[in-house]
Structures are given as structure tokens and as C-alpha cells.
Amino acid sequence: MNISKILISLIFTLILFGFTPSSAHSQSNEAIDYYNKGISCHEKGQITLAIQNYNKALNLYSGFTGARYNLGIAYHDLANKYSQQGQYDLAIQNYKQAIKYNAEDASAYYNLAVTYDRTGQTLIAIENYKKSLSLNPELNNAKRNLCAAYFDLGNNYYSHKDFNSAIQAYNNVINIDPRDAQAYSNLGLAYSYNAQPDLAIKSYNKAISLDPMNGDFYKALADVYTNNNKFDLALMNYEKAMKLKPNDHQIIHNMQIAQRIKNDNELTRAVNDVKALQKAPKEVYELVKLDSGVKYISLIRCDEILDMIWSDPDGQKLLKTMINNKIPIKITQGVQDTNSKVQTKEYKQSVALLGLIPIYSWNTGSQRDILVNIGEDYILAFRNPNLSADQRIFAFHVFIHEFCHAVSSTFAKQDTSSLEEEISASMIGYNIASRLLRGRDLTKDEVYEYSQRCLQGILTDDHRLLPVYNNFNIQIQGYGITPPHLYLYRNIAELYRSIRLDPKTNRLDMLERML
């Protein structure tokens, strides 16, 4: 209750009227009586009675400044009471009455604004905060609450995708408090979704300059760079964010996405630009056979891929072995017949009675024919710009994978593949692709990821029925070809252990028993 204000208004009133017992008019005396009753009730906390008496005083004399002033105070106090009780509609009515009788009361405008804020009427609250500040610029609570109201308004506009209005609201916060780092960050987010990346970047950099230890700001800036294909800058800012928030999984996830997209873009350019360093000899081309109905362009693309494989030392060793063993490469339609096959022909001699009835036969020998089938869809995929870099590299690796199987079939009459062979053949294929496209071998982390993905794929189809080992790794090294970082996947059971809890991994009893 504003008792001091009431006493001051009483003194001013007596001076204003110049009342003395001898000169007072009866009506003026009655107005003063009601006025004094109002003060008495007000001091006792009987606010409603005080308002009634102040009103009666004003009815008797409308120019009674003290009564008008105190009436405004009484309405203000009553409004505060309703506000504390959560009766916001009544509080608003009485704050408006307080302002009606005391239009210069900055705190009345402020409290009215707070009440509107609490009822979700943000725009009206903002207008009243602004009015309170115009009357008292030093009202710091009004400044803080006005900023908060603009924040709420901006967030509401943002959630409804009205980004232009959100931008205006956040700028209003900054106009009030130019050092509000969070306002600049929110502004950056609104600019980003409003397709204004340059302004978003500028806003985030300002936020960082004001609060350089906020990891979220670096992450948000990195996200903008990622969305605008500036991956080096994105990764630099994700690293800064990670230093400040090392356990933030979202930062780690977004950083991995940026790195993956960057790698994919670089690989796409590499796949588009790659050319064989040398032409394969004619003996390689002579291995190629065409199935009926295969497009001529498939033959051209196949020759290009063979040239690239010949350009790699390990690829050349595979092709030389295939030349020496006269293993044909047959281009088939589609992808279903992509494989390496071994066909064995048995030759027999027999003796027949009277040349008609066989009475005895014996084996005179056998011939093993090895054949590589490559579906033309894989051949065409490598140069297909509509496919991702991973898909195109996979298509390229299929060649080498099947060549490894063909060479494996020359090992001591080896006819059956294994999980070991499937994984290692793929690693050799991906490693040759990396050397041709990136100019380097696969890293340890890349090999580990590829080998895990390869085993997951094997466990989804009939390859899961293969034996675990068949000595492929030892035998392929006899040709001078060593699978990259072999120690990471030599132990198939341990590789399986690393992925068995992944929901995408199918369980395999044979490997479960080996754990």
C-alpha cells in the first residue's frame, strides 16, 4: 500500500484548496470528509471502501486532485491484490482504472503489462511495457520483461514459420539490449530458415563474440555452413562446439553428417573425373564376352573399368591371374547373374560288350572352368551421375570382388567361398577403389566401418550359410595381394561381436557359438 503517496497527496490538497475551518464551503468540507475517510480506509487495507470514498469526494468536486491521485493508487493496490490471487481479468480492469486516474503512473503500466504477459496477450503486454518505459526509462524490470516478451513473440512467430515477423521481434530485443547473445542466436536461426544464410552467419558470429563459451552457438553456426555446403567451415565450428560440449550427441551426429556429405561430394567429383592411368593389354579385353541383348555401351564402360583396375598394382595382379587361367568375364543383363562360377566336366572311358552293353568305365580326367559374370547394371552404375558416390563405388568394387572369387577358385581346386573370403574380397575391392579415387589406401577407421557393413550385408542373405573360413587370406597373399588392415576383421567372431547388438544385424548361431 502506498501510504507515503497518500500523505503527500493530502498535503498538496490542503494547499490547493486553501481550506481553513472558517472559509470552507460546506460542499468542499464534505468532499474533504470523504477524502479523509478514503485515506483512513486505505491505511486499514479496506481498499474497496477507500475507492468508494474517493469517488464520492470526486463526485462532490471533480477537480479534487488529491482524491483523483489517491483513487488511482487505490485501484492500483486492488489490482495488485487480484493479480496475486490469480484473478487476472479483475486485475487488468483495475490497472486500467488506476491509469485512468493517474496516467503518469509508470508502475501501473508495468504491472498491467505483466498481467497481460501472464495471460498470453503478448502484443498488448509489449505496448504497456513500452509505455511504462516512456514514463520511467530507468525501470529495469520493464526493460527485462519487454525483452522477454519480444523473445516470446519471436519464438511464437518462429514456431508458426512466420520467419519475417520472428526476425523483427528478435531485432527488437537487440535494439533494447545490444549485448543479448541469445537474441542474436535466435535471429540467426530465423534468418537460416528464411533462406538468408549470410545474415544467419553474421548473427551467429555476433552471438559468439558476445558469448564465446557457448557451444550451442558454434553448433548452430556449423549447421548453417553444412546446409550451404561449406563443410570445412562447418567441421571447424563443430570441433569448437565439441570442445565446449564434449558429451553432446547431437553435435557428434551433425558433425558426422557434415563429414559424410563432404566425403560423398569429394568422391562424386573423383568418380566423375577418374581416368585410367594406363590401358589394359588386349589379353584383358579378350576375356570379355557378351550375353545376348547386352547394350554396346556396357562393353565400352566395362573396358574403361578394366583399364582402371589394370592401373592399380593389386588389380593388375588379379587380371594377370585371370589371363593366365583364361577366366572369361561375361557381361550379363541386369544384376541377378553377377557372380563367379566353377563348372567341372568329368571325362570317362568305358568298355562295352559287343560294343553295345557297357560293362566297365573309369575316369580319365576332368576340366574345371571358372567364369565371372558381371551384370551390366553394375557396369553402367559406375558412371551414372544420378546415383550416390557410395552406390557407384559399390558397383566398381563388385568387379574386383568377383575377380577375387575367380582367383580364389584357382587355389588348390578351391570351389567354396566363406565369410572370410566375402569380407576380404570386398575390402580389397574398396581399397583399390580408394587408391584410384582418393590416391590413398583406406584408413583403419574406413576399413573397420566397411568390414562391419559387409558382414551385416552377408547376414541378410544366403551368404550366411557359407563356412566361416577357407584360408582365403593366406592364399591371396601368395599372389602378392594383402587385404587392407586385415587384423581388424581376420577374427570374424570378434567382428560379429562389434555389430551383434545393432538392430540391423541378423544373428547367426554359428558365430554366436564362437563368441
Cβ atoms of 103 and 86 within 8 Å: the answer is no
Average pLDDT over residues 253-277: 89
Cβ atoms of 351 and 364 within 8 Å: the answer is no
Whether 180 is in a domain gets the answer no
Whether 271 is in a domain gets the answer no
Whether 73 is in a domain gets the answer no
Q: How confident is the model at residue 513 (pLDDT cuts 50, 70, 90)?
A: very high
Taking alpha carbons only, the member of 25, 23, 54 closest to residue 37 is 54
Whether 358 is in a domain gets the answer yes
Determine the 3-state secondary structure of 439 from DSSP.
coil
Domain range for 351: 286-514
Whether 56 is in a domain gets the answer no
Average pLDDT over residues 373-395: 91
Whether 213 is in a domain gets the answer no
Q: Count the domains in the chain.
A: 1
Residue 162 vs residues 57, 122, 155: alpha-carbon distances, Å: 52, 16, 10
pLDDT at residue 12 in the model: 45
Q: How far apart are CA 303 and CA 307, in angstroms?
A: 6
Which amino acid is located at 493 in the chain? A
pLDDT at 11 over 90: no
Whether 248 is in a domain gets the answer no
Parallel, antiparallel, or unpaired for β 339-353 and 357-375? antiparallel
Q: How far apart are CA 57 and CA 34, in angstroms?
A: 5
pLDDT at residue 273 in the model: 87
pLDDT at residue 23 in the model: 40
Q: How confident is the model at residue 5 (pLDDT cuts 50, 70, 90)?
A: low
Q: What is the largest CA-CA distance in the chain?
A: 167
Whether 194 is in a domain gets the answer no
pLDDT at residue 2 in the model: 56
Residues 40-98 pLDDT 10s: 888 888 989 989 988 888 888 888 888 889 888 999 999 999 999 999 999 999 999 99
pLDDT at residue 72 in the model: 87
**Backbone φ, ψ for residue 359 (5° rounding):** -115, -15
